[in-house]
Structure 1
Amino acid sequence: MSLPVTVGVDGSPESIAAAEWAAHESEIRGAPLLIVHADEWAGAALPGVGPDARCRRADELLAETAECVRRQHPALEIDTRQLAGPPATALAGAGAEADLLVLGSRGLSGLRGFLLGSVGMAAIVATPRPVVLVRVPGRSTVPASRSAVAGSSRDVVVGVDIDQYFDPLLDFGFHEAAGRGARLLALYGWSIPPVVRDASALVAAEREMGPDIARRLAADLRPWRLKFPSVDFVERSCVGGPAQLLLQAAENAELVVVGRRMRMGALGAHVGSVAHAVIHHCAVPVAVIAHE
């Protein structure tokens, strides 16, 4: 039996959007959907709210979410489960037993972008499995692209780095593109040496370095072209900050894929700066892929 697509819900609009996205993903993968709820009140001293009441609330939430999903996906195999323990730990544990963990991400107005929240971020860094973060449709701070408005096919965008191991990101991205009938865009952002000061020197440095970087990227990606010949695939290497380039590409994307190195820093596990920026500011679903 295939591993489930697992989605965490808490009754918020963001978690409902995540459940709907996860159901569609389950259908693409031919996998069951598992809807889970981690009680954020566990261990809290809330007057008049005991364990039995919290349990009933969780059961009702799970049943309502499952029913909502079944109306749109009547043939989908759906199960529900209450999770015990601290929410981040419980969600990470559920994600470790899933093919994919899906979470909602709430938006903030204006230029502040999107906020995932401490529970979601902690769950991301605690599980080695892919995690997808979903926004509520229509709450984008990024203007829709012309092709998106027209309803044409949109990209699966994968952020790659030719100086790092990015095979897990491409493996995830290509399977997503194949299942969705979408184009895959492999995007690499690179920088000009800081000694370059004036515009003419900048143009010259880009002209001299650009072709070699493009060749290196093409060589790294050639095996993936052969592995997924049916996927429409384009590669792009551009001068600029990787996070900003990914956010620009997201205007014509249905999914953005970024990496998270499985490493421990002084303050524990964390995501890198590029993944962090994309997670908090990208308006479309973001897949975070752990890799060495």
Structure 2
Amino acid sequence: MDRIVLGYDGSDFSVQALDWALDEAELRNLPLTVVHAWQWPYGDADEEAKAHLRKAAEHVLWHGAECARSTSSGVRVETDLYEGPAAQRLVELSADATLVVVGSRGLSALPRVVVGSVAGYAAAHADCPVIVVRGPGPLPKATRPGPVVLAEREPDAAAVEFAFAEAAMRGLPLAASADLGEWAARRPEVQVEQGEPHERATLVVVGRTRAAHLGTASSLPQHAPCPVAVVPATAPESS
């Protein structure tokens, strides 16, 4: 099932992720699944107490789905309420998703510090690309959006294909230090620039070398100024 999966917890950070996920769903003409996970954190409890917590979780999920429906232009919005760890559910749903989008609390040096969080776990284990959107609140609409940046000196094919697809869908140039001559010849609609101008990037793309380990992201700035896509080598090609 091709779809965009969004991790949503009602925070300002997930509002920004929702904005990006809707954008992806519209560009790709895919449905959006809004996911909210909950679990009782205090050990044994009676069913009435758990029912109250579940009701609150249902409200959070309903709010996220309504926000998505009210701001989208025809995107089909579905919901998924899960009892258990959020990171685990996002990885499960990634098996038949095109993309997972999740917010981050703006921790520095993705992926080094973020590993262990929901965003980091999803990025390290998901079967499809994961876009980590950093910072609270709605995404600012840039009047002159910057390029998609491929932050890999020796990128694998999946990361390159994903970066070209994102650049093509958004009508943006692709900036990279790697030699992309053969790829550029096959994707003439994308303007390729040399260099990695992270400070004005719209999206930074990195590869993931193997399960549970993120790829060569040492070239990322200490504070990523934009969303970061982590692409597993086994990810299906984007169209």
Q: TM-score, normalised on structure 1?
A: 0.70
Shift of 1:43: 5.8
Contact 2:201–2:225 under 8 Å retained in 1: no
Q: Equivalent residue of 2:175, what SS?
A: strand
Matched ranges for 1:1-292 at <5 A: 3-39=2-38, 41-42=39-40, 44-45=42-43, 50-107=49-106, 116=114, 118-136=117-135, 151-162=143-154, 166-188=156-178, 217=179, 221-236=180-195, 246=196, 249-263=197-211, 269-272=212-215, 274-275=216-217, 278=220, 281-291=223-233
Partners of 1:120 and 1:279 in 2: CA distance: 18
Equivalent position of 1:241 in the other structure: none
Query: Is the alpha carbon distance of 1:91 and 1:44 closer, same or farther for their aligned partners in structure 2, counting shifts above 3 Å?
Result: farther
Query: Tell me, what secondary structure is at the counterpart of 1:134?
Result: strand
Alpha-carbon distance in 1 for matches of 2:157, 2:72: 32
Instruction: Name stretches of at least 5 consecutive residues in structure 2 with no aligned partner.
Output: 235-239
Greater shift in the superposed pair: 275-284 or 89-98: 275-284
Determine if contact 1:38/1:91 at 8 Å carries over to the other structure. Answer: no
Is the Cα–Cα contact under 8 Å of residues 152 and 217 in structure 2 kept in the other structure?
no
1:160 partner amino acid = E
- Residues 184 and 277 from structure 1, CA distance in 2 versus in 1: closer, same or farther, beyond 3 angstroms? closer
Inter-CA distance 290–43: structure 2 relative to 1 (3 Å threshold): same
The CA RMSD over aligned residues, in Å, is 2.9
Q: Which amino acid aligns with 2:190?
A: V
Structure 2-normalised TM-score?
0.84
Measure, in 2, the Cα distance between the counterparts of 1:136 and 1:19.
12
Count of paired positions: 230
Q: CA deviation at 1:35?
A: 0.3
Compared with structure 1, are the counterparts of its residues 75 and 250 closer, same or farther at alpha carbon in structure 2 (3 Å cutoff)? same
Q: Is the contact made by 1:96 and 1:129 (CA closer than 8 Å) also made in structure 2?
A: yes
Relative to its length, the structure with more helix (as a share) is: 1
Deviation at 1:255, TM superposition (A): 0.4
Flag the 1:181–1:97 CA change in 2: closer, same or farther, 3 A.
same
Deviation larger for 46-55 or 127-136: 46-55
2:203 maps to a residue whose letter is L
Q: What is the deviation of 1:225?
A: 1.2
The answer to whether the Cα contact below 8 Å between 2:150 and 2:160 also exists between their aligned partners in 1 is yes
Structure 2 CA distance for aligned equivalents of residues 11 and 74 of structure 1? 22
CA distance change for structure 1 residues 132 and 290 in 2, over 3 Å: closer, same or farther?
same
Identity %: 34
Q: Which aligned segments of 4 or more residues in structure 1 are displaced greater than 4 angstroms?
A: 46-49, 112-115, 137-140
